[in-house]
Structure 1
Amino acid sequence: MNTADKPNPAQPHSLSANDMNDKLSGDPISNVLLARWIMRTHFEQFAGSSVADIARAYIGVYSNRPTSWQAVLARNHNMDKSEALRAEDDPELVRIPGMRRSKFLIPKSMANMVFGATCLPLLDHEWRLREAELTLEDYLRIRPELIRFASGSPVRLEEIKSFLGLSGSQARACTTVATYNGVLVRAPSPNPWSNRWLYAAAPSELMHSHDALVDHEQLQWELACHYIEQYGPVSVEDLAWWMGISKKLARLFLEKAGAGEIESGLWLGPLQKKTFESWATNVSESSDERVRFLPNWDPLLMGYSPGSRHRSCLGLDQIGAYDHAGNGLPVVLIGSKAVTTWRVTAKGSQRLLSIHLPDDILQKDQQIIQEAAVMWAERIGAIYIP
């Protein structure tokens, strides 16, 4: 067993009989029970999963590197970095815009649904062109040449700039709008730490969701159903925030999906509700206290709304797990409790891992975290600096 997977002998979050009876008695679900369920649905069920499996379950993993491959390693402890990176090159996976205008690594089979449910009209991106002193007419004139140029091997932004005779800002604006327009997809650079993307023409069968015949609301409902089943229990606010829709529409989707409230404000999908009730009755009193390192923008961190019960019961808000813009920072978990944050910095060709260890972390927990950090650093190709 890796040190990073080593159980922590301290078990402050073991379940009591009252915790386990919460669901059956009709009382509000305890934070302990909710946190344990979150560990099950976000980690334990993915212990042997592939990159494609994880991307499919989460309706996409943030495609920014190193988030994409580190989020997988945080769940499948038997997969190494090189295997995860090879799996990202699966032609059945694509990087497209999705929820809240973020870019996701997602199976092709789900791409039309996600893109169609979240895309904005082309006019809504006109400001990106204006900032680069281009008009929408300029973009529409350039677009066919851009698609043709990117139809072979993925091309770099600098190559697009030279081919089209554009300035750097104009080339960047055109490629950005083209990805939101569904005619280009991102491709990763050979550097697993780099977000200097390459670009390729979108496969012809993908992302026709801007077509007037597509039922946008139907695709939104399908996307909501996937979210409810993977991330549940969720609140109306969680679904509205994650999808970028109104609370009124979120509530409508929860009801239409057949979700039910397991307590006031927390909804589970019909399939997941049966699983939860069985699990809550039989869950072990002992707790898994292994150390996990989550990357920034991890699906768990970005799966629930600000102020959500999930963020609170895991202790994410208490450790400052989000920056001022609401982006999830790299987090260290011991069992189901967030204890601190970590980061990687570059020093020449090396990557150095460091951890913020405040005084209120118990000495024995500091030792456990540091032992796990050595193993995590080795897995991601970094060096741990105590």
Structure 2
Amino acid sequence: MRISDDQRRARLVAHQLDLGAAGPAPESTVEGVVDRLVALHATDAPSVYLSVLARVPELRIEDLQAAMYDRRTLVRVLAMRRTLFVVARDMVPVVHAGASAAVGRRLRARLLKELATLPMDPPVEDAEAFLAAAEEQVHDALAQHGPLTGAQLSAQAPVLRTAFLPTTTKSWDVRRSLTSPLLSLLSAEGRIVRGEPTGGWSSNRFLWRPVEDWLPGGIPEVDEAEARVRLAQVWLEAFGPATLADLQWWTGWNLGQTRDAVATLDVREVELAGLGAGVVLRSTELPTGPGLGAAAGHVALLPSLDPTAMGWKHRDWYLGPHREQLFDSAGNIGATVWWEGRIVGAWAVRTDGEVVSRLLEDVGTEGAAAVGAEAQRIGSLLGGGGVTASFPTPLYRELRG
């Protein structure tokens, strides 16, 4: 079976972007959006909010805040590809076993090696014992005084102020404390969680909390191989049809783990236009017939690092020739304008709250008007505040001015 780019784009719009079209429905809630997308990229805090607001017009910033901090149905986790995501609370055990646990093992091995080999202030004699003591201090500080920022944790757990000393004269090789690598490790191991922001909704600074504040009793244990099967299934439900390389890239698994996970699922092989072999779950309904279907006339303004824009390794079928202008040097995509299931431009929020965009393709008079209307809608939700991306792309810098 051959699947065209138009078919993939029509499914992308219907399943991932136009979630408020049917009115009140499970997928029009904050939790429903996250379920549809598996996980929201959370490296840039504003992206979590903007990814949801782009998909369901009725939702507001306050709805996200209520889900994350009142109901606590969503959790920030360090997971796939050592990237920060927001996932549904009931998916945390699967994501942790399927991705975070391996990240945690790599981070622990690296930190122990650095503690044992790099010059420290004060010196570290026994890396294993030192790290165990540091973990205990963090646990005790959060139990007695939490929630705490990283700086507040350093005050309550003095061991965090232990520093790695420079070993070269390079400008980037500077004195750095234990705080950041240890908190990242404990996050990947599912022992602590990034909670409320310390500033406004778009702040990238958070209070640290014990994981039990979201999952009483901690994260339930799940077999890692079984978790990878479940993670592959929900990803294919959201992003299929796709290639195995797409799934491998998204999860950060090796090829053997990717093949083993998919082999357990009820999939069928398909041919993807321009890519060759791909897979799709047999239960997936694919658009048929000529035309764009649900994608016709659809517009969306997606934020930087949006899960749809970052969902596949092979992106030409929706990205086209715009990679150089829309990605930074590290492979992070900026805020993008979508028309009929493909990327046609970029947008940004200036410091005065104005939403500005630039089209890289001719989408016609009606398309341009729809983009302008969507920019106004997004701007009205932000209350006149600016939003800054942590990973500026070339076109983003131009638009921000």
Q: Same fold (TM over 0.5)?
A: yes
Deviates more, 1:364-373 or 1:193-202: 364-373
Question: Please, which runs of 5 or more residues in structure 2 have no aligned partner?
Answer: 162-175, 387-398
2:344 pairs with one of 339, 343, 346: 339
2:208 pairs with one of 196, 199, 203: 199
CA RMSD of aligned residues (A): 2.8
CA deviation after TM superposition for structure 1 residue 344, in Å: 2.9
Q: Judge conservation of contact 2:147–2:208 (CA < 8 Å) in 1.
A: yes
CA distance in 1, matches of 2:63, 2:142: 27
What per-residue deviation string (whole Å, max 9, x for no partner) do you get for residues 89-112 of structure 1? 222322111111112212221111
Secondary structure in 2 matching 1:302:
coil
CA deviation after TM superposition for structure 1 residue 29, in Å: 2.2
1:140 pairs with one of 132, 138, 152: 132
TM-score normalised by length of structure 1: 0.79
Structure 2 counterpart of 1:8? none
2:142 pairs with one of 150, 161, 185: 150
Q: Judge conservation of contact 1:62–1:68 (CA < 8 Å) in 2.
A: yes
Q: Size of the alignment, in residue pairs?
A: 344
Structure 2 counterpart of 1:300? 308
The 3 A distance-change label for structure 1 pair 125 and 60 is farther
The 3 A distance-change label for structure 1 pair 299 and 287 is closer
Structure 1 counterpart of 2:155? 162
Q: Kindly report which structure 2 residues correspond to 1:295-334, keeping only aligned pairs within 5 A, or say none.
A: 295-305=303-313, 308=314, 311-318=315-322, 320-334=325-339
1:101 pairs with one of 62, 74, 82: 82
Q: Judge conservation of contact 1:157–1:199 (CA < 8 Å) in 2.
A: yes
Match status 1:91 vs 2:65: no
The 3 A distance-change label for structure 1 pair 173 and 337 is closer
The 3 A distance-change label for structure 1 pair 221 and 374 is same
TM-score normalised by length of structure 2: 0.77
The 3 A distance-change label for structure 1 pair 371 and 266 is same
Structure 1 counterpart of 2:46? 66
Q: Kindly report which structure 2 residues correspond to 1:197-346, keeping only aligned pairs within 5 A, or say none.
A: 197-203=206-212, 204-207=216-219, 209=221, 215-263=223-271, 264-272=276-284, 275-276=285-286, 279-280=287-288, 287-305=295-313, 308=314, 311-318=315-322, 320-345=325-350
Secondary structure in 1 matching 2:138:
helix
The 3 A distance-change label for structure 1 pair 285 and 37 is closer
Deviates more, 1:366-375 or 1:335-344: 366-375
CA deviation after TM superposition for structure 1 residue 293, in Å: 0.6
CA distance in 2, matches of 1:113, 1:286: 31
1:81 pairs with one of 54, 58, 61: 61
CA deviation after TM superposition for structure 1 residue 329, in Å: 1.4
Match status 1:123 vs 2:109: yes
Q: Judge conservation of contact 2:337–2:359 (CA < 8 Å) in 1.
A: no
Question: Please, which runs of 5 or more residues in structure 1 have no aligned partner?
Answer: 1-25
Deviates more, 1:145-154 or 1:179-188: 145-154
CA deviation after TM superposition for structure 1 residue 245, in Å: 1.5
